């Protein structure tokens, strides 16, 4: 049979089901699900590429994803058929044998609604099951495609309330014939949940909410009634949704018949506003075990009780079997945003251990019962102070991997400095200058960087020993926001970096063995798989995600590209594109008296995408301090139904007046002038 024909694709993808995914885990010849296997280990048993020959790795082909925003997807591959997503949830099917496009599918997300997600218009990849490819579109639709042709088979809107800013950025998983997906939106005032759909028909099978709703209405299930006792109703938490969005990690243990959900931060961030009398606010920032057949709650472990810092627990979980104190234990390994590395018993949710893998200033450790020992000052946000880790997390969605041969987990750790302070006057959905992105629907109830943060940015590849709870080795990077990791039986760790390289390390000791330039920063994780007896390594590259909107660590820019490497590969690299940036803005006429008000408007409308003018240097969205003066002089033409709307810029017609635009112009030019070297 010819490979890459619709008949071949149909035959090989039809085989992918639960039994296939479990059988594949023994040899890992294919990469059929997001984290490689149900345990999400990202540990490949392939060992053709080793510490001995990795230096001979070369490019087999590159593929242009034709996207300019963040690319966060892990490519799936079965028998040389690759499925990967670009920004705006566009799916590409690629023939690994030739590097050519088989088909692509664009769900046609309305780009004027890009602002309804906090953190770039990203997508972390697809799921594959019985001849179908499943993608969560940014606007909340879950779409099943024919794996051979890319034609839609069914489509479901996963969103419970279309007036709220719900999105999907995560990769669906298929457990026992059901497609599972969660949503994003906890910066906007939403209530989190996960939903299961029949893979064949799209029929909804169950839905589990992560936080309680309005207590005057019946609770959906016993877990919600239990959770409601940990929320103060005087805060009317249900009006701002409560949060807890499960926007990324899911895992499955078929023996225990449990699936695991990592839940997100509180909405709003400030607990004093969400739940004024305190409380743990279940099930925020938790790992929750559900019955995959029914969606019924089984147990939970809350990592950050009463979250107050955007400490999501949505970071990738790994199921591992470890020997702890001489006893074999079935555990979950987890390094959420809050900076602690957790080992949890996955049979019952009992805490085993936690240790900080970076410097933190909100807790000194965890007690025996698994409660954090908080630093009191961390909740007293009367004055701006660095939250360490900050809302970008000590570790974000970037995939972790675990190698049972070395016993080490590999994760990109970081510090991205931000200061926080309570917003005492916050009201739900009230758009006021100085409230972070309030014009776009954000509801943090906190001011961000009202004073500049004092901590230092940091990015580090950490090899963590989860039994000893300590770092075995680490590699310092030049910037935070580095890519997810892959580890292999060839004793290797692969990681892409913010400064535009794909690097291979010795998994035991961190020695750098190989690297190649990728043209732009890498945030996604690599995969590896066999095709016709040869081991390949692929990575989808495209600088972005929340930190990549306004900052960068390379002088090169997009487009989103898939690179595939093989021993002896010698295909030419595509031309790298130089980052286009004008000189520091000069000559826009403005009234200096307008700068202070312009500053506050900039915070409530512009800052997370465009960064601080002349201070940040632009990411996948340009910095306004380095524009041509005529663009800033004509700023109104860009903010009111402007030409960038088709690239995802919001329309500010009902948010800003002409007078506001004048103030913002004053802030942009004033800031550029203030930072200009004398
Ligand atoms: O609370 C949420 O619902 C939510 C959603 C998302 C998302 O869907 O991408 C992110 C976050 N929070 C978040 O806190 C965060 O740091 C983040 C980074 C990214 C990214 O893709 O780079 N997404 C998200
Ligand atoms: Ca969040």
Whether the Cβ atoms of residue 508 and residue 490 lie closer than 8 Å to each other: no
268 ligand 1 Cβ < 6 A: no
Ligand 2 is a single-atom ion; what residues have CB below 5 A from it? Answer: 186, 265
72 ligand 1 Cβ < 6 A: yes
Atom of ligand 1 nearest to the CA of 523: 22
What does the H/E/C string look like for 540-587? Answer: EECCCHHHHCCCCCCCECCCCEEEEEEECCCCCCCCCCECCCCCCCCC
Compute φ and ψ for 661, nearest 5 degrees.
-65, -40
Atom of ligand 1 nearest to the CA of 190: 3
Nearest CA, atom 17, ligand 1:
119
Mutate to test the pocket of ligand 1, among 396, 483, 484, 620 (most ligand atoms within 8 A of CB): 396
Using the mean position of ligand 2's atoms as its centre, give its distance from the Cα of residue 220 in Å.
Answer: 24
Using the mean position of ligand 1's atoms as its centre, give its distance from the Cα of residue 118 in Å.
Answer: 6
Residues 6+ apart with CB under 8 A from 304: 284, 285, 311, 313, 336, 338, 372
Tell me the ligand closest to 118's alpha carbon. 1
Nearest CA, atom 20, ligand 1:
545
Atom of ligand 1 nearest to the CA of 168: 8
Nearest CA, atom 21, ligand 1:
545
Using the mean position of ligand 2's atoms as its centre, give its distance from the Cα of residue 391 in Å.
Answer: 8
**What is the pLDDT at residue 244?**
98
- Distance from the first to the final alpha carbon of the chain: 70
Concatenate the DSSP letters of all residues of 122-141 into one string. Answer: -----EEETTEEEEE-TTSE
Cα distance between residue 179 and residue 542, in whole Å: 27
Whether the Cβ atoms of residue 388 and residue 362 lie closer than 8 Å to each other: yes
Tell me the ligand closest to 190's alpha carbon. 1
pTM above 0.95, yes or no: yes
Residue 598, H or E segment: helix 595-605
253 ligand 1 Cβ < 6 A: no
ipTM (interface pTM): 0.99
Compute φ and ψ for 409, nearest 5 degrees.
-100, 140
pLDDT in tens, 255-286: 999 999 999 999 999 999 999 999 999 999 99
Mutate to test the pocket of ligand 1, among 312, 338, 420, 551 (most ligand atoms within 8 A of CB): 312
Cα distance between residue 674 and residue 678, in whole Å: 9
185 ligand 1 Cβ < 6 A: yes
User: Environment class of residue 467 by beta-carbon count within 10 Å: exposed (0-12), middle (13-18) or buried (19+)?
Assistant: middle
Nearest CA, atom 1, ligand 1:
186
Q: Which of 662, 663, 673, 678 lies closest to 615 in space, CA to CA?
A: 673
Alpha-carbon 411 to chain mean position: 14
313 ligand 1 Cβ < 6 A: no
Please state whether beta strands 485-488 and 43-44 pair in parallel, antiparallel, or not at all (unpaired).
Answer: parallel
Cα distance between residue 50 and residue 111, in whole Å: 43
Whether the Cβ atoms of residue 175 and residue 258 lie closer than 8 Å to each other: no
248 ligand 1 Cβ < 6 A: no
Residues 6+ apart with CB under 8 A from 291: 257, 258, 259, 298
Annotated active-site positions, please? 310
Alpha-carbon 376 to chain mean position: 29
264 ligand 1 Cβ < 6 A: yes
Helix, strand and coil content of the chain, in percent to the nearest 5, comes to 15, 30, 50
Whether the Cβ atoms of residue 571 and residue 61 lie closer than 8 Å to each other: yes
Cα distance between residue 397 and residue 279, in whole Å: 27
> Would you call the peptide bond into 101 cis, given omega within 30 degrees of 0 as the criterion?
no
Q: Report residues of the chain scoring pLDDT below 50.
A: none
Mutate to test the pocket of ligand 1, among 188, 193, 395, 397 (most ligand atoms within 8 A of CB): 397
Residue 24, H or E segment: helix 18-27
186 ligand 1 Cβ < 6 A: yes
Atom of ligand 1 nearest to the CA of 248: 8
Mutate to test the pocket of ligand 1, among 247, 304, 480 (most ligand atoms within 8 A of CB): 247
307 ligand 1 Cβ < 6 A: no
169 ligand 1 Cβ < 6 A: yes
Burial per residue of 11-23, b for 16 or more beta-carbon CB atoms within 10 angstroms, e otherwise: ebbeebbbebbee
305 ligand 1 Cβ < 6 A: no
Using the mean position of ligand 2's atoms as its centre, give its distance from the Cα of residue 331 in Å.
Answer: 25
Residue 663, H or E segment: helix 658-675
Tell me the ligand closest to 123's alpha carbon. 1
Handedness of CA 70, 73, 74, 76 (dihedral sign): negative
């Amino acid at each position: 049979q010819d490979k890459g024909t619709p008949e071949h694709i149909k035959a090989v993808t039809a085989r992918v089901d639960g039994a296939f995914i479990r059988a594949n885990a023994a040899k890992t010849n294919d990469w059929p699900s997001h984290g490689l296997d149900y345990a999400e280990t990202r540990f490949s048993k392939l060992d053709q590429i080793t510490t001995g020959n990795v230096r001979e790795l070369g490019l087999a082909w590159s593929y242009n994803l034709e996207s300019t925003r963040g690319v966060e997807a892990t490519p799936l591959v079965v028998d040389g058929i690759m499925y990967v997503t670009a920004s705006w949830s566009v799916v590409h099917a690629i023939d690994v044998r030739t590097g050519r496009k088989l088909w692509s599918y664009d769900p046609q997300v309305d780009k004027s609604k890009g602002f309804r997600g906090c953190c770039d218009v990203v997508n972390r990849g697809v799921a594959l099951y019985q001849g179908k490819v499943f993608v969560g579109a940014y606007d909340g639709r879950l779409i099943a495609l024919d794996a051979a042709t890319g034609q839609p088979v069914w489509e479901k809107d996963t969103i419970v309330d279309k007036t709220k800013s719900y999105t999907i950025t995560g990769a669906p998983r298929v457990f026992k014939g059901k497609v599972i997906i969660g949503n994003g939106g906890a910066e906007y005032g939403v209530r989190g949940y996960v939903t299961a759909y029949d893979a064949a028909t799209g029929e909804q099978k169950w839905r589990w909410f992560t936080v309680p709703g309005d207590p005057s209405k019946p609770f959906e299930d016993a877990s919600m009634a239990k959770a409601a006792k940990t929320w103060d109703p005087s805060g009317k938490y249900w009006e701002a949704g409560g949060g807890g969005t499960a926007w990324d990690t899911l895992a499955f243990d078929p023996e225990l018949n449990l699936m695991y959900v990592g839940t997100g931060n509180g909405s709003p961030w400030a607990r004093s506003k969400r739940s004024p009398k305190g409380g743990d606010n279940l099930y925020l920032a938790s790992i929750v075990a559900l019955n995959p057949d029914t969606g019924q709650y089984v147990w939970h472990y809350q990592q950050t009780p009463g979250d107050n810092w955007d400490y999501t627990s949505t970071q990738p979980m790994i199921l591992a079997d470890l020997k702890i104190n001489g006893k074999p234990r079935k555990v979950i390994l987890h390094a959420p945003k809050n900076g602690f590395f957790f080992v949890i018993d996955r049979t019952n949710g009992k805490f085993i251990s936690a240790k900080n893998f970076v410097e933190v200033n909100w807790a000194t450790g965890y007690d025996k019962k698994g409660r954090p020992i908080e630093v009191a000052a961390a909740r007293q946000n009367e004055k701006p102070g660095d939250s360490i880790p900050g809302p970008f997390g000590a570790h974000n969605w970037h995939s972790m991997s675990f190698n049972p041969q070395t016993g080490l987990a590999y994760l990109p750790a970081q510090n991205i400095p931000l200061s926080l302070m309570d917003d005492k006057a916050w009201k739900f959905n009230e758009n006021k200058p100085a409230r972070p992105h309030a014009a776009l629907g954000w509801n943090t109830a906190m001011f961000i960087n009202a004073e500049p943060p004092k901590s230092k940015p940091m990015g580090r590849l950490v090899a963590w020993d989860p039994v000893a709870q300590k770092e075995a080795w680490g590699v310092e990077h030049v910037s935070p926001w580095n890519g997810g990791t892959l580890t292999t039986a060839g004793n290797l760790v692969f990681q892409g970096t913010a400064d535009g390289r794909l690097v291979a390390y010795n998994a035991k000791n961190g020695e750098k063995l190989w690297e190649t330039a990728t043209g732009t920063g890498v945030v996604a994780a690599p995969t590896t798989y066999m095709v016709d007896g040869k081991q390949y390594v692929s990575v989808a590259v495209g600088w972005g995600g929340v930190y990549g909107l306004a900052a960068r660590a390379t002088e090169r820019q997009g487009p989103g590209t898939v690179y595939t490497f093989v021993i002896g590969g010698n295909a030419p690299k595509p031309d790298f594109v130089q980052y286009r940036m004008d000189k520091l803005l000069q000559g826009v006429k403005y009234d200096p008296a307008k700068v202070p008000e312009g500053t506050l408007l900039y915070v409530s409308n512009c800052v997370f995408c465009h960064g601080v003018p002349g201070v940040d240097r632009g990411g996948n969205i340009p910095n306004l301090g380095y524009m041509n003066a005529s663009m800033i002089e004509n700023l109104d033409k860009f903010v009111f139904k402007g030409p960038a709307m088709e690239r995802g810029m919001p329309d500010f017609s009902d948010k800003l007046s002409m007078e506001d635009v004048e103030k913002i112009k004053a802030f942009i030019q004033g800031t550029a002038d203030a930072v200009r070297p004398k």
